[in-house]
Amino acid sequence: MGQGEAAALPRPRLLRYAPGYMKTLRSALLMLVAVPFVALAGDPAPAANKQPAKTSEADCHHPPQAQAAAPKSDWTLTRGEPLKGAPAVKLADLLSKPQEHDGKTVLIEGQVRKACERKGCWMELATAKDAKGPGVRVTFKDYGFFVPLDSAGSQARVEGVVQVAELSEDRAKHYESEGATVPRGTDGKPREVQLVASGVELRR
């Protein structure tokens, strides 16, 4: 082929696009890249391991952990509010005539016959060690404090409100499962004298 024929060949044409078309193409490419990242960002993070909700024991507000045992040697232990000088009532008088003191704030003294064997959330005061004899169950205001599990045998001074209570069967069985002796009337219903303590002093 001669030089004249080569020169006669048509030149390749370059494709040219309008600026607006190129801008649209760039936007489309950016969208293709961005969509997967947006989708990943939108996926909810895996939920953290959730701890099961804590449930309290039926019919009794136990603290999360039991109270530690009291020292073995002589000791004095205080729980709750300081004693404020409420009228003193003999334990024997309270047990013989509880209705006279129902709803009143009093100070009583006595020996701890028993205490809750699980958490220390109640104790019994009695004039005698006989488990079948009458006693006063001491619980603690708003379950704000508790006593050592080995409080039995201690001398106690307790200030709080007297309640003459008829217990439900469930509550009575719950107390009994923790080592309590729940008195029952001639009709078989569980009844007892209680004192909701705002402050306690124990000594041994």
Q: Tell me, yes or no, whether 103 lies in a domain.
A: yes
**Dist. CA 199–CA 79, nearest whole Å:** 6
Residue 73: alpha-carbon gap to chain centroid: 32
**Dist. CA 45–CA 38, nearest whole Å:** 14
The predicted structure's pLDDT at residue 111: 93
3-state secondary structure (DSSP) of residue 82: coil
- Give the CA dihedral 127, 130, 135, 137, nearest 10 degrees: 120
Q: Tell me, yes or no, whether 38 lies in a domain.
A: no
The 10s digit of each residue's pLDDT in 138-181 is 999 998 999 999 999 999 999 999 998 877 888 888 887 877 77
Residue 120 and residue 65 in contact, taking contact as beta carbons nearer than 8 Å? no
The 10s digit of each residue's pLDDT in 94-122 is 988 888 999 999 999 999 999 988 889 99
Q: Tell me, yes or no, whether 43 lies in a domain.
A: no
Q: Tell me, yes or no, whether 125 lies in a domain.
A: yes
What is the model's pTM? Answer: 0.60
State the residue range of the domain holding 178: 76-203
Q: What is the mean pLDDT of residues 123-150?
A: 86
CATH for 114: 2.40.50.140
Q: Tell me, yes or no, whether 127 lies in a domain.
A: yes
Q: Tell me, yes or no, whether 18 lies in a domain.
A: no
Check pLDDT > 80 for residue 51.
Answer: no
Task: Report the number of distinct structural domains present in the chain.
Answer: 1
Q: Tell me, yes or no, whether 199 lies in a domain.
A: yes
How sure is the predictor about 45, in pLDDT bands with cuts at 50, 70 and 90?
very low
